[in-house]
Structure 1
Amino acid sequence: MIQKQQSMALSPYMELYNLIVPADNMLRKINELIDFSFVYEELKDNYCLDNGRNAIDPIRMFKYLFLKTVHDLSDVDIVERSKYDMSFKYFLNMAPEEQVIDPSSLTKFRKLRLKDINLLDLLINKTVEIAIEKEVIKSNSIIVDATHTKARYNQKTPKEVLMDRSKKLRKTIYQIDENMKSKFPSKTTTDVLEDEIKYCQDLIDVIKKEEVLVQYPKVKEQLNLLEETVADDVEQLQISEDKDAKVGHKSADSAFFGYKTHLAMSEERIITAATITTGEKNDGKQLEALIEKSIEAGMEVETVIGDAAYSEKGNIEYANKNEIKLVAKLNPSVTQGFRPKEDEFEFNKDAGMYVCKAGHMAIRKAKQGKKGEGRNQVTTYYFDIEKCKHCPFKEGCYKEGAKSKTYSVSIKSNEHTEQAKFQESEYFKEKSKERYKIEAKNSELKHRHGYNVAKSSGLLGMELQGAMSIFTVNLKRILKLMNQ
């Protein structure tokens, strides 16, 4: 059975922790800050309590995942480090001489025990609860934005994924011993995926026989990463590219293949809510969910700060209905006036273009009409006619034989007078200055916690990565605010 609360094993060496792990160590502080027994309560239904041998405590397994997120290492390397890093053992509630888990247990925990758990909301709500309890959140505003994450198989074929990882491993080894070239198996000359998988396995086998070589940390980490990819992801590789990932647009000229994480964050830089979607989803459509999740987590939301993507008509109406101040600049192409087929065309604020329901972006736009002529000006967006001819949604949208496909939006501000007036207020201008904070948080997630590339395939895998990454940055931020 599993224990409800971990208890550290009795050991004559326990005093070592007081000597080796200082009071200001981050992991010691986190252990003191949070009671991890909530993990047990959430996961107990995923364990059999009266059959089989004793399971490894889920709290310890969860803490391993936390350490993996902080240090961005493979399962094998994070377990290996826990053999000798005393701060790790202290954090994991282990006796100094206690044996570590088998890395395969961590892989199974991640895949089997965490399924059917809404880990994203659970971990965010837990950290917000702690932040409110410790009185580090004092504001009643949230800042909203979206950040993109490239798919792990970023528009590469499965064979290219393996080739890239094996190449990095060989390059690392050549820096140490170029003579290894003669020992390595011959590279594949076919386009058959199974041949590349076999080559990688042969390469791993050869390197493992070099006892001196594998002691180098940089070799060991690259080797473990390739081995984990082959063992953990062969099934996904055979499915080919990540089927959940979609193409999204960062600007009119650049796109990415992957996912979006839509975030809400307090002015104190604590993330209060998140939703994870495929890459093509519109940022503004997530606003209601982010506000409601933040309130559910314990935030009092009086003001929402975001960019022009969040100022569409529906969001203004929602904010007014709920007496929330929406600090997001109006964009005439998105919010002003009625426009036809609102459900079929969505505005991409980064590219400044409309995207049809097939996912095709307009290739140019032009403003028509003149001010003061007694009729509204319109912005007309032009789509690639060749794509329209073969589009599965062309019925009712594209007329056979037509030389162009356009979509026009009326530019008028009658229905947004109050929002336009609010936009000129000092309060709006002051609160707008807070928006840069969430861009810095996005950068922290990407550059310190590997959030620029998905660690696995599929939306569920992305949600697990998001949950652990946000949990980590929130706890670090809470500790920093408590020390100030």
Structure 2
Amino acid sequence: MLKREKLERDVVELVNTDLLVPSDHLLRKIDGAVDFTHIYDFVEDLYCADNGRPSADPVVLIKMALIQHLYGIRSLRQTVKDIEMNIAYRWFLGYTLNETIPHFATVSYNFRHRFKESVIEDIFTWILYEVERAGYLKPEVVFVDATHIKANANLKKRIKKAIPGAARTYEDQLLEEVNADREDHGKKPFDDTKPPEDRNVTESTTDPDCGVFNKGEHKKCFAYGAHTVCDQNNFVRDVVVTAGNHHDSQIFDALYKKVTGRYPQIQVITADAGYKTPWICKTNFDDGRIPSVPYKRPMTKPNYHKSYEDVYDEYNDWVICPENRTLYYATTNRHGYQEYKSIPFNCERCPTRHLCTENKSCEKTVTRHVWQDYLEMAEDIRHSPIGKATYSLRSQTIERVFADAKEKHAMRYTLYRSLNSVASWVRLKYAAMNLKKLALWKSKAWLLFWPVTQRTRFSV
């Protein structure tokens, strides 16, 4: 049996690090895909050239953070340890085997005090520009959804707190249409908008910016929400980070304005049932865009009549129940819902009253939003070829982005605290994911000669 006579551990050799990095290594592809010297333009105003001691190269510091996000390394401390031992990482940074890597505290300090949100935004936008210049962005159809990120906070360390309710962005417009509808029905209009009611929330004493997340089978925890937009090619277009206790539809306006302001050529916005609200559908249709949303299950009690069994008669402005009884208009409330109520005498003798209402006065109430027509238009889109084609891509696009971010790039849990820190962390992670995809696609020469019609999954 052959065995080594001795272990060569103290041998001095002349080594060319460039020859030790494989030609198909990911970092080689990334290094050839973009010009990292553009980073100097983003941070030039943050450094003083006249005095002070020499600083660490900002390109090196940002590359170290990109390595952390590209390979899903949990912390900067561990990232520096891995860079010290990994020849490919050193090659990417331009360091020899004997050079000292910047201390993790140096990297952490710069990202905490120098590279603020504006620098991260510039890096994110620059990478998207490189993707667009390469011809890989498909802006016609985008996909919107949110995922939660577990916060670095213990659920047991919490307090109950009353906070002012957030005013809806469309409050004034809704009140105007509600008053117009009330006047058409001979009702007195509301004077003005009531201030939002205070709401009680559970706040973490460790990280007050996060919020309690509890949905479905997920374990209750403090978390942040990453509300994300991507295109057909899975490139992340934009992201808004909030506390984990905000509903997806509440953040849609801010995300919608950002992404449509940057990409006005968007034609179809695909989202899940949480975004199927009257205001969101109205916003899309009024702007000349198409909301592609799925069927939303009626929010009725089990074994009761479904809401779609009540038929609205537009000509007579009344509602007909499953037993062919008429419900007449009563009022329009501040939330924009028209209320139609039945005659108690009819409901009292109804054979299916136990499937309809438990009201002691035997009166059934059906509500219909003043913007209900937009929901019905969205329902028509759902059955159209464009609606079926775009919504079927959600599992391959936005859901794939979330899966990759959590499984490959360590976005399931964050060590950072405060909303600004987590937002920068998420944006830089998405920038690294876009950069990785750009580099991989550029490295495939055959993709450049593949017909565009075959590269595009769906065209509007």
TM-score by length of 1: 0.62
Q: Amino acid of the residue matched to residue 367 of structure 2?
A: S
Change over 3 Å in CA distance of 1:14–1:423 after alignment to 2: farther
Change over 3 Å in CA distance of 1:376–1:38 after alignment to 2: farther
**Displacement after TM superposition at 1:273 (Å):** 0.8
Q: Amino acid of the residue matched to residue 300 of structure 1?
A: Q
Query: Matched residues in 1 for 2:134 and 2:264: separation?
Result: 14
User: For residue 438 of structure 2, what is the aligned residue in structure 1?
Assistant: 478
1:211-250 → structure 2 map (5 Å cutoff): 240-250=205-215
Change over 3 Å in CA distance of 1:83–1:253 after alignment to 2: closer
SS of corresponding position for 2:408: helix
Change over 3 Å in CA distance of 1:298–1:55 after alignment to 2: farther
1:69-88 → structure 2 map (5 Å cutoff): 69-71=69-71, 72-88=73-89
Change over 3 Å in CA distance of 1:245–1:376 after alignment to 2: farther
Contact 2:293 2:378 in 1 (8 A): no
1:5-16 → structure 2 map (5 Å cutoff): 16=16
**Displacement after TM superposition at 1:367 (Å):** 7.2
SS of corresponding position for 2:258: helix
Query: Matched residues in 2 for 1:451 and 1:300: separation?
Result: 30
Q: Amino acid of the residue matched to residue 427 of structure 2?
A: A
Correspondent of 1:277 among 242, 256, 265: 242
The question of 1:423 aligning with 2:382 is answered: yes
Correspondent of 1:433 among 379, 382, 392: 392
Change over 3 Å in CA distance of 1:241–1:415 after alignment to 2: same
Matched residues, number: 334
**Displacement after TM superposition at 1:377 (Å):** 12
SS of corresponding position for 2:148: strand
Greater CA radius of gyration, 1 or 2? Answer: 2
Asked which structure has the greater RCO (Cα within 8 Å, sep 6+), the reply is 2
User: For residue 105 of structure 1, what is the aligned residue in structure 2?
Assistant: 106
Q: Amino acid of the residue matched to residue 375 of structure 1?
A: L
Correspondent of 2:422 among 449, 462, 465: 462
Change over 3 Å in CA distance of 1:116–1:137 after alignment to 2: closer
User: For residue 63 of structure 1, what is the aligned residue in structure 2?
Assistant: 63
Query: Matched residues in 2 for 1:374 and 1:122: separation?
Result: 59
SS of corresponding position for 2:241: strand
Correspondent of 1:451 among 411, 419, 442: 411
For structure 2, the 5+ residue unaligned runs are 1-12, 159-203, 311-320, 331-364, 448-460
Query: Matched residues in 2 for 1:131 and 1:416: separation?
Result: 35
Q: Amino acid of the residue matched to residue 143 of structure 2?
A: I
Residues 384-403 of structure 1 deviation map (CA, whole Å, 9 limit, x = unaligned):
xxxxxxxxxxxxxxxxxxxx
Q: Amino acid of the residue matched to residue 420 of structure 1?
A: E
Q: How large is the RMSD of aligned CA atoms in angstroms? A: 3.2
Correspondent of 1:318 among 267, 283, 286: 283
User: For residue 261 of structure 1, what is the aligned residue in structure 2?
Assistant: 226
Contact 2:277 2:375 in 1 (8 A): no
**Displacement after TM superposition at 1:245 (Å):** 0.8
Contact 1:14 1:96 in 2 (8 A): no
Q: Amino acid of the residue matched to residue 429 of structure 1?
A: K
SS of corresponding position for 2:398: helix
1:328-343 → structure 2 map (5 Å cutoff): 328-329=293-294, 331=296
**Displacement after TM superposition at 1:131 (Å):** 1.4
**Displacement after TM superposition at 1:272 (Å):** 0.6
For structure 1, the 5+ residue unaligned runs are 1-12, 159-238, 334-351, 354-361, 379-407
Residues 303-327 of structure 1 deviation map (CA, whole Å, 9 limit, x = unaligned):
1111112221221122112211110
SS of corresponding position for 1:264: strand
SS of corresponding position for 1:449: coil
Query: Matched residues in 2 for 1:96 and 1:295: separation?
Result: 47
Contact 2:70 2:436 in 1 (8 A): no
User: For residue 186 of structure 2, what is the aligned residue in structure 1?
Assistant: none
Q: Percent sequence identity over matched residues?
A: 20
The question of 1:91 aligning with 2:92 is answered: yes
